[in-house]
A and B are shown apart, each in its own frame.
Chain A
Amino acid sequence: MVVDERAKVVTVTIDGRMVKVKDGCTVLEAARQAGIYVPTLCYHPSLSPYGACRLCIVEIENMRGFPTACTTPVTDGMVIRTDSAQLRELRKNIFELILAEHPKQCVTCAKNLRCELQEVASRIGVEEVTLPPIRKDLPVYRDSPFFDRDYNLCVLCGRCVRVCQEVRGVGAIAFVYRGSRALVGTAFDKTLQDSGCQFCGACVDICPTGALLDRESKWSGLPDKSVVTICPYCGVGCQLSLEVKAGRVVRSVPVYDESSVNKGQACVKGRFGIAEFVHHPERLSSPLMRKDGKLVETSWEAALGFVAEVLSRHKGDEFAFIASAKCTNEENYLAQKFTRAVMGTNNVDHCARL
């Protein structure tokens, strides 16, 4: 948060362009700062450098081989090439290996059009996969009430494993097995709950493919719109984006925003506990008035008129208003203004202490 004004600036040359960047930043960060696209899959700004997917390989003068941009720190005067015939060829070949392991029935995938793999494919320009597909034939795990884990679609970028470990400090999932059997899973194949999963959904949000997907909204496709708002659970005030499709909230996801409190993270309640209660069938949809001891539906006009009439008879200290720590500032303001200015009493309080 505290920006160190003395942070050293170094100059590097990327694809023939001189760029001034913060000392200690990575080649990838420098390239992005210069507006140069370098494909990545395992990289994520919330996570420490990993260097697994090998797509961000570059050429750096005086360095052997093809270092990965996401893990290599810049040094002053560094000369970097992100695009050469050899790099393009190698990248394409590596990406083809990734695709060989990934089913290619995109149109039947719930992540279609939201998939990072598709994005990278279009940028790298893979025309055909000449390698035979490697089928994993793994069962789909449905042991979470909120999301499915289909590791047939997993590209082993490790983002889920790392976000769980590095950002959430939980470590419920890890890599298991070796070689081409290598997989993301829980220790001893325990259920997620038994392995300490907190169901925050960070793994789902960070997954570049359709391997991890919300179950409820899996097939809702691209939202009509997304509205950034504040989570109603607890006083931290996380930014959430409510994804709306056909007038319904289908999903709530944290937005990655460096200035927000939650920086792309949420808890299980904010991530999975919103859409369902908003559209719950038990939501009250009409005013109710007690008639013969029973609450029966009535019109707003009737209800409001009745309340206004009765309250007019209870002005002063025989009236109290219990406001709410769950309502907005404006509503609480109006509640106390109403109590004080209209009802003539200071009897207003809320569950501040609970």
Chain B
Amino acid sequence: MTFTEIQKRAAAEWEKLQKSLRPRILVGAGTCGKAAGAGAVLKAIDEFLARQGVGATVIQVGCMGLCYAEPMIGVIKPGRPQVIYGSVQPETVGQLLSDYLMNDNPRPDLALGYIGDGKVDGIPNLFDLTVLKPQVRLVLRNCGLIDPENIDHYIANGGYSGLFKALSMSPEAIIEEIKKSGLRGRGGAGFPTGQKWEFCRRAPGTEKYIVCNADEGDPGAFMNRSLLEGDPHSVLEGMVIGAYAIGANHGYIYCRAEYPLALERLRLALKQMEEYGLIGDNILGSGFNFHIKIKEGAGAFVCGEETALLASIEGKRGMPRPRPPFPAISGLWGKPTNINNVETWANVALILQKGAEWYAQYGTERSKGTKTFALVGKVERTGLIEVPLGITLRQIIYDIGGGILKGKKFKAVQTGGPSGGCLPASLLDSPVDYESLTAAGSIMGSGGMIVADEDTCMVDLTRYFLTFTQAESCGKCPPCRVGTRQMLDILTRIVQGQGKSGDIEQLERIATTVKQGSLCGLGQTAPNPVLTTLRYFRDEYQAHIEEKRCPALVCKELITFYILPDKCQGCMICMRNCPVEAINGGRRLVHVIDQSKCIKCGTCLDICPTRFSAVVKVSGERIEVPSEPVPVQKAEGSAQD
């Protein structure tokens, strides 16, 4: 089959589906959807259809990125736009379907929005929602909308036309196109992709490799997983184009084994490509040969570092090595190797499909295109988002994310995962691009974005990140291995109230040593949380060390729970619920917490009826309370004071 024939066939298939008289139900069944209960919803849908004898096509699709609204389904009735429903429950999905499919009530009360041409009364266009309006979905364009297990869906939506076009170009021209697009590595460092390819293409040697880095290891990051699950072909198309441009005949996808669905979809996609002659020998009759192997990583964070990743593919322990030589000169098995991140490869396909100029219209002068982020933490709407570079943090957090959870105050946003930095409110209006983030002391990273509110202790958060990087250090170089441990030990002491003067200076000294002295990116960036919090939240450190006070009231050793004698009504609820029996009291007696027994779990605070609000959590201050339970005085009166 020629590519034109393949395209025709795919288009016909897609057309048939669009024009089908059967309703279609799309279920967001990515790992995230499944975690939120999509499996049970699917089962309930199947049961409903069988029970009612309704003929409908159920398709499992990837994630649309609206994590806060999972599980999500989309319903398409013939000739109507798709209606998207969020937070669907297995118990109620039957009613929903029955209402819409059988009684033509689209249930605007449950719908998030519609997608496609036409209108549905009472339901907004999904992309007009504030969560989606600022987003530009290029890389994620297909996610949630096509069947990721059907290559025809991808092709019918323009897929592989980039490859088809590339094969008619010279490799140099492709590299030129990528350079013109301004695409920079989406794995974090932001190295210009076209330039990287050129190094590898020009490296001496006939045997070359390309690698797709799908070892997404940042806690709270899931951009790559969602993309691989929702649209695997977009990544694979980019890889074939890159291989052709670089002159590589073999490629590897290094994907963590914790992503079983992504791996399954990749394997299936490769099989489908093979059937269409899009991979293997003589791709689309061009004479170009390219083969891809999938290598499953065992979940070491450091294997996201390119030299460690290569070592791991070679069957060695995933440990980085110094560069030079760069992988472009001596990579896998000592051969020139080009490594790009999942998202970078997906961008490549798009650039070839639509042209460098089209692509370069998005983004800023030096940071072109879009970037996906996993927006998590204390925001109203968590999710996977895609925004043009240059957008401000405020737009991301407040418009897309809907602001801080429960109306609390924003404190910081951590970009770039555990290797990134914590940025304060004063930087909310700075643009998200490679240079600005670096200048602020953070990094773009692969796209993790964790929002902290006023209830987050920055010292404790920093300690959390250090716990991670310290455990994930490969142990090869002392700055990273010992330095992260030393910093972690100091931070642990500080949050435990054992901080002493000089700790901040010591932290700064070690952090600088680790940053400057470490072998690889892991070590060089591991101090970023320490350095940025010391830069922007130094007062919190000082409060912990000098006043033994945790301003966010998080650090257990520094907080105390008291029962205010003038508010306690002696209801005994807190006493009965205390897990360690640290509360003394009795009916109509003012309760007293035995501080030597208290484990600071906060149960008493949570459970004390709001009309009393007798329990308080304080740090750095002492409240005078009776040492023994005493009778409640003038109960009603004092409560009104």
Point out residues on A near B: beta carbons under 8 Å: 49-54, 57, 65-68, 71-73, 90, 93-94, 97-98, 100-101, 130-132, 134, 155-156, 158, 174-175, 177-183
Known A156-B478, A178-B471; contact A131-B300, beta-carbon cutoff 8 A: no
Known A51-B322, A51-B519, A54-B519; contact A180-B513, beta-carbon cutoff 8 A: no
Chain B neighbourhood of A101, CB < 8 A: 478, 481-482
Picked from B322, B472, B489, B518, the residue with its CB within 8 Å of the CB of A178 is B472
Chain B neighbourhood of A71, CB < 8 A: 321-322, 324
Chain A neighbourhood of B486, CB < 8 A: 97, 100, 131-132, 134
Judged by a CB distance under 8 angstroms, whether B470 is at the interface is: yes
Bound-state CA distance A177–B485 (Å) is 15
The 8 A CB mask of B301-339 against A (1 = contact, 0 = none) is: 010000000000000010101101100000000000000
Known A51-B519, A98-B482, A179-B485; contact A156-B476, beta-carbon cutoff 8 A: yes
- In the complex, the number of residue pairs spanning A and B with C-beta atoms less than 8 Å apart equals 111
Judged by a CB distance under 8 angstroms, whether B475 is at the interface is: yes
Give the most central of B302, B477, B478: most A CB within 10 Å.
B478
Known A54-B519, A175-B319; contact A182-B513, beta-carbon cutoff 8 A: no
3 nearest CB pairs, A to B: A182-B475, A51-B322, A93-B513
Judged by a CB distance under 8 angstroms, whether B479 is at the interface is: yes
Chain B neighbourhood of A54, CB < 8 A: 477-479, 517-519
Q: Closest residue to B469 on the A side, CB-wise?
A: A179
Is A90's CB under 8 angstroms from B517's CB? yes
Chain B neighbourhood of A73, CB < 8 A: 324-325
Is B476's CB under 8 angstroms from A158's CB? yes
Chain A: minimal CB distance from B73 (Å): 41
For the complex, would chain B's binding face be called helix, strand, loop or mixed by DSSP majority?
Answer: helix
Is B321's CB under 8 angstroms from A50's CB? yes
Is A175's CB under 8 angstroms from B317's CB? yes
Picked from B321, B473, B485, the residue with its CB within 8 Å of the CB of A51 is B321
What would be 27 A-B contacts, judged by CB atoms less than 8 Å apart? A49-B322, A51-B321, A51-B519, A52-B519, A54-B477, A54-B517, A68-B322, A68-B519, A71-B322, A72-B322, A90-B513, A93-B510, A97-B479, A97-B486, A98-B482, A101-B482, A131-B506, A134-B485, A134-B489, A156-B475, A156-B481, A178-B471, A179-B473, A179-B475, A180-B473, A180-B485, A183-B475
Bound-state CA distance A91–B262 (Å) is 44
Q: Closest residue to A165 on the B side, CB-wise?
A: B316
Chain B neighbourhood of A98, CB < 8 A: 478, 482
Bound-state CA distance A97–B506 (Å) is 12
Bound-state CA distance A194–B476 (Å) is 25
Chain B: minimal CB distance from A101 (Å): 5
Give the most central of A67, A100, A158: most B CB within 10 Å.
A100
Chain A: minimal CB distance from B434 (Å): 15
The 8 A CB mask of B198-232 against A (1 = contact, 0 = none) is: 00000000000000000000000000000000000
Bound-state CA distance A174–B482 (Å) is 19
Is A155's CB under 8 angstroms from B478's CB? yes
Chain B neighbourhood of A90, CB < 8 A: 513, 516-517
Question: How many positions in chain B have a CB within 8 Å of any CB in the partner chain?
Answer: 35
Chain B: minimal CB distance from A45 (Å): 18
Known A71-B322, A72-B324, A130-B506; contact A66-B481, beta-carbon cutoff 8 A: no
Bound-state CA distance A299–B155 (Å) is 101
Chain A neighbourhood of B322, CB < 8 A: 49, 51, 67-68, 71-72
Bound-state CA distance A158–B479 (Å) is 15
Picked from A66, A130, A155, A179, the residue with its CB within 8 Å of the CB of B470 is A179
Judged by a CB distance under 8 angstroms, whether B346 is at the interface is: no
Is B517's CB under 8 angstroms from A178's CB? no
Is A179's CB under 8 angstroms from B509's CB? no
Chain B neighbourhood of A183, CB < 8 A: 475
Picked from A50, A72, A93, the residue with its CB within 8 Å of the CB of B509 is A93
B window 455-474: CB within 8 A of A: 470-474
Bound-state CA distance A134–B482 (Å) is 9
Judged by a CB distance under 8 angstroms, whether B484 is at the interface is: yes
Is A94's CB under 8 angstroms from B513's CB? yes
Point out residues on B near A: beta carbons under 8 Å: 300, 302, 317, 319, 321-322, 324-325, 470-479, 481-486, 489, 506, 509-510, 512-513, 516-519, 524
Chain B: minimal CB distance from A273 (Å): 32
Is B479's CB under 8 angstroms from A94's CB? yes
Is A66's CB under 8 angstroms from B516's CB? yes
Is B517's CB under 8 angstroms from A174's CB? no
Chain A neighbourhood of B509, CB < 8 A: 93
Chain B neighbourhood of A130, CB < 8 A: 506
Interface contacts beyond A134-B486, A177-B475: sample of 18 additional A-B pairs, CB < 8 Å, sorted by A: A51-B477, A54-B518, A67-B322, A71-B324, A73-B325, A90-B516, A94-B478, A94-B513, A94-B517, A97-B483, A101-B482, A131-B486, A132-B486, A174-B317, A180-B473, A182-B473, A182-B474, A182-B476
Q: Closest residue to A51 on the B side, CB-wise?
A: B322
Bound-state CA distance A52–B478 (Å) is 7
Bound-state CA distance A37–B477 (Å) is 21
Q: Closest residue to B514 on the A side, CB-wise?
A: A97
Is B517's CB under 8 angstroms from A180's CB? no
Chain A neighbourhood of B489, CB < 8 A: 132, 134
Chain A: minimal CB distance from B56 (Å): 49
Bound-state CA distance A49–B330 (Å) is 14
Chain A: minimal CB distance from B24 (Å): 47
Is A175's CB under 8 angstroms from B478's CB? no
Chain A: minimal CB distance from B306 (Å): 15
Bound-state CA distance A67–B302 (Å) is 20
Q: Closest residue to A98 on the B side, CB-wise?
A: B478
Bound-state CA distance A183–B481 (Å) is 11
Bound-state CA distance A49–B512 (Å) is 25
Q: Closest residue to A48 on the B side, CB-wise?
A: B321
Bound-state CA distance A158–B316 (Å) is 14
Is A175's CB under 8 angstroms from B482's CB? no
Bound-state CA distance A130–B471 (Å) is 23
Chain B: minimal CB distance from A111 (Å): 19
Is A179's CB under 8 angstroms from B481's CB? yes
Chain A neighbourhood of B506, CB < 8 A: 130-131
Chain A neighbourhood of B475, CB < 8 A: 156, 175, 177-183
Chain A neighbourhood of B478, CB < 8 A: 52-54, 94, 97-98, 101, 155-156
Bound-state CA distance A205–B564 (Å) is 69
Is A178's CB under 8 angstroms from B516's CB? no
Give the most central of A51, A57, A68, A98: most B CB within 10 Å.
A51
Is B517's CB under 8 angstroms from A179's CB? no
Is A180's CB under 8 angstroms from B482's CB? yes
Bound-state CA distance A336–B204 (Å) is 62
Is B516's CB under 8 angstroms from A100's CB? no
Chain A neighbourhood of B325, CB < 8 A: 73
